[in-house]
């Protein structure tokens, strides 16, 4: 009887400390739809970054649930008084296509303009979810800052017809 009582006590104690799982993936279509963001969308991954001041971090620029994309113009705004732009690198979204072009334009104005296009066969395009670019920043001062998409972002199909972007995610950087 003593063993049964001890077992029940241990079982009750263990049940009280069951951790609650949190599923917070900004690339989960079902989760972002519940947050009111429609697809196709442009998202940041990760969408929330907690770092120390002066620390370098990377955030990826993702297309989420897009169809028949052959090119993109992406405009990103950031607080240049809090974040220092380090580097911009191509993503993997067009990696199955031969020789896509990637280029960017920055003028230390808190705005990044990203361009990517594929000039292959007329029917070449990509569908799904993937990274267009990855961007390295450093937090220059402590505080909270955001990464946002400009409203003039564009995705186009192989015929240069614009694909409607229905949702835009936001990135938050918390530097301590």
| Region 25-43 average pLDDT | 74
pLDDT bracket for residue 1 (50, 70, 90): low
Q: Which H helix or E strand runs over 32?
A: helix 29-34
pLDDT at 23: 44
Tell me the two tokens of residue 49.
């970054």
Angle at 149 between CA 59 and CA 105, to 5 degrees: 75
Name the pLDDT band for 5 (thresholds 50, 70, 90).
low
Give the pLDDT band (50/70/90) at residue 122: low
In this prediction the pTM is 0.78
We find that the CATH architecture of domain 2-175 is: Sandwich (2.60)
Round to whole Å and give the CA distance between 97 and 44.
23
Residue 100 confidence class, pLDDT cut points 50, 70, 90: confident
pLDDT value at 92 more than 60: yes
pLDDT above 70 as % of the chain: 78
Per-domain boundaries in the chain: 2-175
For the stretch 42-70, pLDDT in tens is 999 999 999 999 999 999 999 999 999 99
Q: Per-residue pLDDT for 18 more than 90? A: no
């Amino acid at each position: 009887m003593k063993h049964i009582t001890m077992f029940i006590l241990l079982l009750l104690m263990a049940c009280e400390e069951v951790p609650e799982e949190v599923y917070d993936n900004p690339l989960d279509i079902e989760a972002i739809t519940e947050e009111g963001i429609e697809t196709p969308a442009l998202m940041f991954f990760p969408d929330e970054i907690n770092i120390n001041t002066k620390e370098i971090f990377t955030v990826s620029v993702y297309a989420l649930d897009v169809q028949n994309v052959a090119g993109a113009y992406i405009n990103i705004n950031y607080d240049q008084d809090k974040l220092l732009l380090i580097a911009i690198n191509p993503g993997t979204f067009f990696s199955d296509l031969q020789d896509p072009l990637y280029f960017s334009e920055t003028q230390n104005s808190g705005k990044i303009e990203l361009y990517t296009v594929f000039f292959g066969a007329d029917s070449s395009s990509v569908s799904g979810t993937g990274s267009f670019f990855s961007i390295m920043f450093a937090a220059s001062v402590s505080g909270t800052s955001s990464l946002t998409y400009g409203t003039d972002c564009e995705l186009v199909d192989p015929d240069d017809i614009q694909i409607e972007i229905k949702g835009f995610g936001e990135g938050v950087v918390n530097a301590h």
